[in-house]
Structure 1
């Protein structure tokens, strides 16, 4: 099964939510245009997912991106990496990052930095792009891109949440933000198990369907735009949904806590009904 579209059909955060919720396995191809002095240049980006978790990413398919990233940092030369792969018995079925870690050539913190620069920062940059096309090819048995894998992985929702926290320019997603007069409702009666930051927890305290976003901002004494961005983050990872309100409601006096939630792997979240309806309509139009 293949799903294709543009960022105007679905924003990249919404697409990643869909892939996470469906525990999809396959390759996501993204193409954006970059203006040069002569013409527009198409910039490709490939993301490999296994059961809704992002395991690797690259801007080309020659299996050299991770090696070059390591070499350019002066950690290990390309020649040494090639030699290790030749003599290591487990390089046939083990991610390159773990092969180098077992050999004592890379440390865990270096692998985390590589994963951050390979996936989180590029995804954050892609969130700032208005015009892009995507195609997701679902593959039941995905040939693992071992040479591009650090050995680390993260659910698509976690990648989305982390990358949105890094986002500075929200203009590409401005029309996706919830309305200031809307309220927010949780999609579960339980507290979120996904790791939230202090301000996200503060907004979560008002997720009861009765308080508008602008009133939440007033109560917390932070800009409305910040509350909108926090709300959007929680919406696209399936924790809350937006409720349109005719009028602003009275404020309760919740107890605000800044205690961090302990992350729990493999969290199962819920896609909002409005998002599912939009997706069904989109797929029908493509059939």
Structure 2
């Protein structure tokens, strides 16, 4: 069953984390438009996952994206790559990158460069899309000609992509409120490799300190702390904790007329309280429907 949606409702970082948690294998299609009303261009991007790990990405489905990338760098011509694929038996069930490496045509460092360019750089750019359609189709067919042989967990792709992100406009509505705190979802110290600032914010993940107060104590901007908090939330380490506002201080008039004040409060409509556990279970139920 295909999973479809829009980044306006379910952002790409959230989607990748969902696919990793479900250990999904398949093809993620992302479609979007660029340009103004007079010159609109429709674009597509494809990301392949295996057991929740990102294994390849491309802007095309003819399985010539990686070959073109190698040729553009002047490492191997497309003619040589095509010949190796045709005559080498390893190309039948081995990622092309590893096949070329086994022939001594590519070095391990070159494969890393190709993977970073093919996946990390492109996915980071896709994080800036607010209005894009996506479809994920489960499949066991792997694009060997687009694969370097390297892979990365969706969590690592998310963290690296969001750390490099400069324009957070598309994710602005997803950021936790500056008056909220963070509660830990991890039973022990995170095993995910966090950077220095993320570790600093993690020290305050106790549900007792608001993000704006964390920013003041760390002497960094509130916006930066909100972005770090979003990273911790989306990779499943923490959840937003809504702080209870302190009651307002009594005014002199309220103090001198206590009975009137009590009657006024009693007349106010009572708002139902929605527990965080209910919200969490609701989200889990909706994801289970997918």
1:167: which partner in 2?
165
Which residue of structure 2 aligns with residue 277 of structure 1?
A: 282
Uncovered stretches (5+) of structure 1, i.e. residues with no partner: 249-271
Q: What's the offset of the Cα at 1:204?
A: 0.7
User: What are the equivalent positions in structure 2 for 1:29-48 lying under 5 Å apart?
Assistant: 29-35=29-35, 38-48=38-48
Q: How many Å apart are 1:32 and its aligned residue?
A: 1.0
Q: Is the 8 A contact 1:3 1:136 kept in 2?
A: yes
How far apart are residue 61 of structure 1 and its match?
0.6
Greater helix proportion: 2
CA deviations 1:195-242 (Å, max 9, x no partner) are 110111111111111111111111111111111111101111101111
Whether the aligned pair in 2 keeps the contact of 1:213 and 1:227 (CA below 8 Å) is yes
Distance apart, 1:42 and its partner CA: 1.2
SS of residue paired to 1:46: strand
Task: State the match for 1:208 in structure 2.
Answer: 206
Residue in 2 that maps onto 1:80? 80
Match of 1:224 among 198, 222, 225: 222
Measure, in 2, the Cα distance between the counterparts of 1:281 and 1:106.
45
Any residues of structure 2 matched to 1:125-274 within 5 Å, and which?
A: 125-139=125-139, 142-247=140-245, 274=279
Please give the TM-score of this superposition, normalised by the length of structure 2.
0.85
Q: Shift of the alpha carbon at 1:46?
A: 0.8
Is contact 1:184-1:241 (8 Å) kept?
yes
Instruction: Give 1 or 2 for the bigger CA radius of gyration.
Output: 2
The structure-2 alpha-carbon separation of the partners of 1:213 and 1:176, relative to structure 1 and needing over 3 Å to count, comes to: same
Cα gap change, 1:64 to 1:155, in 2 (>3 Å): same
* Structure 2 gap ranges (5+): 247-276
For residues 277 and 64 of structure 1, the distance between their equivalents in structure 2, rounded to whole angstroms, comes to 43
TM-score (norm 1): 0.86
Residue deviations 1:6-47, cap 9 Å, x none?
111211111111101100111110001111684321111111
Partner of 2:23: 23
Residue equivalent to 2:253: none
CA offsets per residue over residues 232-257 of structure 1, 9 Å max, x none?
A: 01111101111010238xxxxxxxxx
Task: Tell me the equivalent position of 1:59.
Answer: 59
Instruction: Give distance in 1, aligned partners of 2:110 and 2:280.
Output: 37
Residue 281 (structure 1) shift: 4.2
Task: Please give the secondary structure, in 2, of the residue aligned with 1:217.
Answer: helix
